[in-house]
Structure 1
Amino acid sequence: MNAVNPRPPGGQLEDDALFHNTHFVVLDFEGTTPKGAPPEPIEVAALGLKYERGRGPLPTGFSFTSLIHPPAHAPITPFDTAQTGITLRDVAQAPPAAVVLNGLDGALPEPPLLLVAHHAPTEGSILYAYRTACPRMARTRIIDTLLLAKHVAPGLPSYSLDALLDRFGIPQPAHRHRAMDDVTVTEVLLRTLLGEAASGRQISSVAHLVRVASRPPKATQPTQLELL
């Protein structure tokens, strides 16, 4: 299998009208992990995909990337710099997360829309934390390529992004742990998994994909007060 140009999904998935119309936006954050507090983003990237007949989901030309200035309680640490290459100087003049995510939220393609991320709870928690700045993203389902890989290829020893890139022959990006590079390989992984799933009749529609490979966004769930 040529994983850089994965085979297009066929069968029932290709026959699903919603699959043809859905915009998939692959998303990745790089962030800090302050002690006793949730992660804070220091970089975000997004890349749009949409189905083309006979070729599967392909990049649409929509892309977005920005560095983000973290809040004072979550500064970039030497560990963060060692992992991502992003330094305090890099983000010194960057806008804060609320500004960046509001801009990305307003630039998203029109619905129907699904977000895509690997190990989506990380992206989901950041979007929920900044839900007032990015209400569209915070209320949009995220397809988790980790869950999709478990559905398509059960029993693997690891479902980390690096392990799945190796499993499906997808080359490592030049700058692993930079947001756009990770988005780019996650996009290839998504197309690879969809091709595998469709050929094995493991995914029949977008509704089926959502059911087996996503979690409901926290922003759409009722609060405790709403339940009373």
Structure 2
Amino acid sequence: MNFSSWPTLLVVDVEGNGTNPPDLVEVAALPVRDGQPDKSTAAAWLTKPKRPVTPFAARVHGLTNQVLEGQPGWEEIRDAVHTCLGTAWIAAHNAHVDYRVLSAHIPRWQPAGVLDTLRLAKATYPSLPKYNLDALIEHVAPDLSDAPAQRHRATYDAYATTQLLIAMADRYETWEQLVAAAVPPGLPGAPEPEQEPTLW
């Protein structure tokens, strides 16, 4: 894979407060440049949700109501997050979730495209019994020694997803082949289905 052919791409991850629909409590965006995660220009935000964090969510990511008490509300950081994301491509694991939540929180945001590393993993490693992030980390064994925070925090999961994306992308010759395997139908950037020729 020629990584220099890639458009601007950010690997994103979000953590929520456990309600449905969720309020955001953490957002991370990690650029990929020349086939490597660019931590020097990565961005991450903590935000105090309007509704309290549920005990279950707090146990998963460790972001309790007490931890978030002094953080800005979403309205205070929304424009900064929107500016960071811009119109770049994004990638995420089970990207429907991150795309849906971010779109609900930033109605004017429209990425160029959405790569889903879950969909990509199923195409790249068709015989795995599971495709969650932990299973893929175990299978691919990426170098996560520089990953910030810990598992289930947005910064860590974005870094792990980036390393998995880079490893899987090496199995594809072109960006177009990667897009065909990784972009779910109906999400931005999905290839147009080929039209059957007709007489009319």
Partners of 1:25 and 1:49 within 8 A in 2: yes
> 5+ unaligned residues in a row in structure 1: which ranges?
1-8, 199-203, 219-228
Percent identity of the aligned residues?
29
Partners of 2:47 and 2:73 within 8 A in 1: yes
Q: For residue 61 of structure 1, give the secondary structure of its aligned residue in structure 2.
A: helix
Which string of whole-angstrom CA distances, capped at 9 and with x for unpartnered residues, describes residues 17-47 of structure 1?
Answer: xx5251210100111232xx31221111111
Count of aligned residue pairs for this structure pair? 184
- Greater strand proportion: 1
Which string of whole-angstrom CA distances, capped at 9 and with x for unpartnered residues, describes residues 67-118 of structure 1?
Answer: 111123xx11221221111111221222223432320221347x6x310101
Partners of 2:82 and 2:106 within 8 A in 1: no
Among 44, 64, 73, the residue aligned to 1:65:
44
User: In 2, distance between residues paired with 1:217 and 1:120?
Assistant: 9
User: In 2, distance between residues paired with 1:129 and 1:162?
Assistant: 27
Q: For residue 41 of structure 2, give the secondary structure of its aligned residue in structure 1.
A: strand
2:193 aligns to what? Answer: none
1:106 aligns to what? Answer: 83
Partners of 1:45 and 1:65 within 8 A in 2: yes
User: In 2, distance between residues paired with 1:95 and 1:82?
Assistant: 22
Could you say if the C-alpha distance between residues 108 and 125 of structure 1 is closer, same or farther in structure 2, counting changes exceeding 3 Å?
closer
1:157 aligns to what? Answer: 129
1:96 to 2:73 alignment: yes
2:56 aligns to what? Answer: 79
Could you say if the C-alpha distance between residues 62 and 210 of structure 1 is closer, same or farther in structure 2, counting changes exceeding 3 Å?
same
Among 33, 44, 66, the residue aligned to 1:50:
33
Matches within 5 A, 1:114-153: 114-132=89-107, 135-136=108-109, 138-153=110-125
> Which fold has the larger relative contact order, with Cα–Cα distance below 8 Å and residues 6 or more apart in sequence?
1
Could you say if the C-alpha distance between residues 58 and 124 of structure 1 is closer, same or farther in structure 2, counting changes exceeding 3 Å?
closer
Which has the larger displacement, 179-188 or 208-217? 208-217
Per the normalisation by structure 2, the TM-score is 0.81
User: In 1, distance between residues paired with 2:42 and 2:59?
Assistant: 26
> 5+ unaligned residues in a row in structure 2: which ranges?
189-200
User: In 1, distance between residues paired with 2:54 and 2:10?
Assistant: 29
2:164 aligns to what? Answer: 189
Partners of 1:24 and 1:116 within 8 A in 2: yes
Per the normalisation by structure 1, the TM-score is 0.72
Could you say if the C-alpha distance between residues 152 and 41 of structure 1 is closer, same or farther in structure 2, counting changes exceeding 3 Å?
same
1:207 to 2:176 alignment: yes
Q: For residue 159 of structure 1, give the secondary structure of its aligned residue in structure 2.
A: coil
